[in-house]
Amino acid sequence: MTSQNRSEQAGQQPAAAATCERPELKKWCARVRETLSSERFAHVMRVTDLAEQIALAHSFSEEETRVTVQAALLHDIARELPAEELFRLAPPQLPLEFEHPLTVHGRAGRKMAEQWGVTDEHVLSAIEGHVFGVSESNRPGVAVYIADVCEPGRGVNDDIRELALTDLGGAYRLAVSRTTSYLQSIGVPIHPGTARVCRELGPA
């Protein structure tokens, strides 16, 4: 780990500690910490913190905010599983998913969360939807998607993060557009799920 990565991770400790000391989140933090590398766990904490900031900035209800925080905390629980385990939890439905196993980690994460005892459909849909996107009416899912794309540790998309605190829909459209452009630039085909969300949202 580089000194920069160490300092970034260290800088997240207070926020992570505060989040994980909440009584309703303690057990989930423990499960997530056991499941992920320290680097990935730090990413999850940054996503959770930013998603909650976005929720508060847009006056989400108490229930929407609860869903946003829990979904953000659990969104990447399947991210570091080997392909065989991903496919066991979320059997591929398209050739693209066979070729790019990480495309199913949202569905696999949903399945893992169900196995862990999560029954709230709003939380589960936001976990699944953080990969391909969600309906714009799913505000917790939108907040998690945006936060995942632009959390500060990524070092990119600062403009999306700034926009997200004032224009939720605009930030979401830009986040989806930026993601699809990046995938196209590296030669990865756009998944039909993301293409559907792009059509629903219209131009950024």
Instruction: State how far the Cα of 67 lies from the Cα of 88, in Å rounded to an integer.
Output: 26
Q: Label each residue of 94-111 as H, E or C.
A: CHHHHHCHHHHHHHHHHH
The pTM (predicted TM-score) of the whole model is 0.92
Instruction: State how far the Cα of 19 lies from the Cα of 17, in Å rounded to an integer.
Output: 6
Which distant-in-sequence residues (6+ apart) come within 8 Å of 153 by Cβ? Answer: 8, 12, 42, 43, 46
Domains of the chain: 3-201 (1.10.3210.10)
Instruction: State how far the Cα of 182 lies from the Cα of 81, in Å rounded to an integer.
Output: 23
Best CA proximity match to 168, nearest among 190, 150, 152: 150
Which distant-in-sequence residues (6+ apart) come within 8 Å of 137 by Cβ? Answer: none
Residue 14: per-residue pLDDT: 57
Positions in the chain short of pLDDT 50: 1-12
Residue 159: per-residue pLDDT: 98
Residues 128, 117: contact at Cβ < 8 Å? no
Residue 202: per-residue pLDDT: 85
Residue 27: per-residue pLDDT: 96
Residues 157, 149: contact at Cβ < 8 Å? yes
Residue 203: per-residue pLDDT: 81
Residue 15: per-residue pLDDT: 67
| pLDDT, tens only, 17-65 | 799 999 999 999 999 999 999 999 999 999 999 999 999 999 999 999 9
Residue 78: per-residue pLDDT: 98
